[in-house]
Amino acid sequence: MKTKHTSPQPLGQKLADLRTRQNMTIDELAEKTGLKAAHLKAIEAGKDFLPVADILKISRVLTIDPDLLFQSEKEKKRKEQRKKDFSLREQSYQYEVLAPGPKESHLRTFRVTIPPRSEHPKVKYQHEGEEVIHMLQGEIEIKVGSKNHMLKKGETLHFDSSKRHSLKNPGAKKAVFIDVIYTP
């Protein structure tokens, strides 16, 4: 039985797909980027090289992350999952983004508030990367794998977030902490 291998989509084809999804012609992209239409056509056909400066110009005009032109389907799915994971977190507790940036960013910083005696038993997190939690107020119980950690004001926990983890506030006061999440 033969296995079909799919090769990554060429850069020029990705560019053409992204451009056409936005209903933009090559001439419009050329005008908005200051690049020559012939150069863009050659790039999309895979016959010309795309310098980094041009990638940045094109990304700005198409309002995309430049990495989108290089990432594989696996990476794309991983980024989509990361966005879904963050959305789930935001629905579970009160999250304030402290360092604004794209949702697919590798490093995110939040100020999180969990109401008193609050637990989300159906919400367990597990994602690639690392996490650091620093308590500002109240207390939380964090279960990482099979180990429980109690954190109080001023305490910090750094852990491997690829292990299943969950949080709850067992106290009578709201819990507030800084959550720094790194995902590769």
Q: Which amino acid is at 39?
A: H
Beta bridge partners of 67: none
Q: What share of the chain in percent tops pLDDT 90?
A: 38
Query: Of the ranges 7-11, 54-58, 136-140, which is most confident?
Result: 136-140
Domain count, the chain: 2
Handedness of CA 48, 56, 180, 120 (dihedral sign): negative
Q: What share of the chain in percent tops pLDDT 70?
A: 76
Tens-digit pLDDT profile for residues 20-52? 999 999 999 999 999 999 999 998 998 887 787
Regarding whether 119 and 178 lie in a shared domain, the answer is yes
Q: Which amino acid is at 122?
A: K
pTM for this predicted structure: 0.54
Residue 172 lies in a domain: yes
Residue 109 lies in a domain: yes
Residue 33 lies in a domain: yes
Dist CA 25 CA 178 (whole Å): 45
Regarding whether 109 and 45 lie in a shared domain, the answer is no
Regarding whether 110 and 32 lie in a shared domain, the answer is no
DSSP secondary structure code for residue 125 in this structure = B
Domain containing residue 62: 11-70
Report the pLDDT value the prediction gives residue 2, as an integer from 0 to 100: 41
Chain centroid to Cα 67, Å, comes to 12
CATH number where 101 lies = 2.60.120.10
54 pLDDT more than 80: yes
- Average pLDDT of the chain to the nearest whole number: 82
Chain centroid to Cα 109, Å, comes to 12
Q: Kindly list the distances between the CA atom of residue 157 and the CA atoms of 86, 89, 111, 113, in Å, as whole numbers in the listed order.
A: 20, 18, 15, 17
Regarding whether 165 and 91 lie in a shared domain, the answer is yes
Residue 5 lies in a domain: no
Regarding whether 39 and 16 lie in a shared domain, the answer is yes
Q: Please give the span between the terminal C-alpha atoms of the chain, in angstroms, as a whole number.
A: 35
Regarding whether 94 and 62 lie in a shared domain, the answer is no
Tens-digit pLDDT profile for residues 113-136? 888 988 765 556 777 789 999 999
Regarding whether 118 and 27 lie in a shared domain, the answer is no
Dist CA 8 CA 66 (whole Å): 16
Greater model confidence, 146 or 69: 146
Regarding whether 84 and 123 lie in a shared domain, the answer is yes
